[in-house]
């Protein structure tokens, strides 16, 4: 059975009043064989981070249609591996992958020098991880773009696709397919118009073990998710509660006043947020 509990092999959780002990989490994980485990939940001050690749579905669909979906799979594998390394390096927990999105959280567990991380440290680690992943994502995307643009012209794929056509396919359908491939060949560079969006929020959340998944749930998790949805291409958007934790850390911030005509979905009372420049 696989688990997302990265910290178990790194000294585990320390026990502050309502914190997991390593042994108790391990025992729950070992006894959770395909059963829904709603353990005693722990309300912890954490910083929750959501990432999502905007525009990636269009690229995935296009490459699938021309029998090149392996490029997408290779890219996602590299992206997930880099993200997990960055999250772990910054003392975070990989919560889950959601399609081409990722959820993680930071804070409230043993990170350095044998002490429990404070909410302020968790927010700082989350910001550092978000910035590092944004930079790494840009490099990874450029690698994919160069590989794709360096491949032989898509016209070479036409003959393979024609050979793979079912017997009896209409000639007109073949012509439409070839025209579509020619159009894609002329606009390869525009296919790579996708970016990594990020939303971050700090606050108390419930942490528990469900099935074999250590996860965080609650209102503050939902806010982080909505901030990620609100973010535009390449943005790292943080809540006011996160901004208060890192305002003296010399990050470049831009305040975003939220228009009442374009509110944060389900959280219309949020009037502003911040972008990490």
pLDDT of residue 271 exceeding 80? yes
Q: What is the model's pTM?
A: 0.78
pLDDT at position 110: 57
State mean pLDDT over 109-125: 70
Taking phi first (over 0 means left), then psi (-120 to 50 degrees means alpha), and beta for anything else, what does residue 212 get? alpha
How far apart are the C-alpha atoms of 155 and 46, rounded to whole Å? 51
pLDDT at position 177: 57
**Tens digit of pLDDT for each residue in 23-44?**
445 454 455 454 545 556 788 8
Query: Are the beta carbons of 258 and 264 closer than 8 angstroms?
Result: yes
- Rounded alpha-carbon distances, angstroms, from residue 63 to 20, 160, 204, 249: 44, 15, 41, 42
**Tens digit of pLDDT for each residue in 73-90?**
888 999 999 999 999 999
Query: Are the beta carbons of 18 and 75 closer than 8 angstroms?
Result: no
Query: Are the beta carbons of 71 and 144 closer than 8 angstroms?
Result: yes
pLDDT at position 216: 93
Q: Which CATH superfamily is domain 6-153+183-276 in?
A: Nucleotide cyclase, GGDEF domain (3.30.70.1230)
Instruction: Tell me the three-class secondary structure of the chain, residue by residue.
Output: CCCCCHHHHHCCCCCCCCCCCHHHHHHHHHCCCCCCCCCCCEEEEEEEEEEEEECHHHHHHHHHHCCCHHHHHHHHHHHHHHHHHHHHHCCEEEEEEECCEEEEEECCCEEECCEECCHHHHHHHHHHHHHHHHHHHHHHHHHHHHHHHCCCCCHHHHHHHHHHCCCCCCHHHHHHHHHHHHHHHHCCHHHHCCEEEEEEEEEEEEEEEECCEEEEECHHHHHHHHHHHHCCCCCEEECHHHHHHHCCCCCCEEEEECCCCCCCCCCCCCCEEEEEC
pLDDT of residue 72 exceeding 70? yes
pLDDT at position 179: 58
């Amino acid at each position: 059975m696989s688990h997302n509990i990265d910290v178990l092999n790194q000294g585990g959780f320390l026990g502050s009043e309502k914190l997991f002990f390593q042994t108790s989490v391990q025992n729950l994980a070992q006894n959770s064989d395909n059963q829904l485990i709603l353990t005693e939940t722990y309300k912890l001050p954490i910083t929750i981070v959501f990432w999502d690749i905007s525009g990636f579905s269009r690229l995935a669909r296009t490459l699938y249609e021309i029998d090149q979906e392996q490029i997408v799979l290779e890219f996602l594998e590299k992206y997930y591996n880099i993200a997990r390394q960055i999250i772990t390096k910054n003392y975070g927990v990989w919560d889950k992958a959601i399609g081409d999105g990722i959820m993680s959280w930071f804070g409230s567990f043993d990170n350095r020098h044998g002490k429990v991380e404070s909410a302020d440290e968790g927010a700082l680690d989350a910001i550092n991880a978000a910035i590092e992943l944004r930079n790494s994502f840009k490099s990874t995307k450029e690698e994919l773009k160069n590989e794709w643009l360096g491949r032989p012209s898509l016209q070479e794929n036409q003959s393979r696709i024609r050979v793979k056509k079912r017997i009896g396919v209409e000639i007109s359908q073949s012509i439409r397919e070839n025209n579509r491939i020619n159009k894609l060949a002329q606009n390869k560079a525009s296919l790579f118009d996708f970016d990594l969006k990020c939303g971050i929020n700090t606050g108390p959340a419930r942490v528990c073990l469900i099935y074999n998944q250590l996860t965080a749930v609650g209102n503050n998790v939902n806010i982080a998710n909505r901030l990620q949805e609100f973010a535009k291409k390449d943005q790292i958007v943080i809540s006011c509660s996160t901004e208060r934790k890192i305002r003296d850390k010399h990050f470049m911030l831009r305040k975003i006043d939220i228009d009442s005509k374009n509110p944060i979905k389900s959280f219309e009372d949020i009037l502003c947020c911040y972008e990490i420049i």
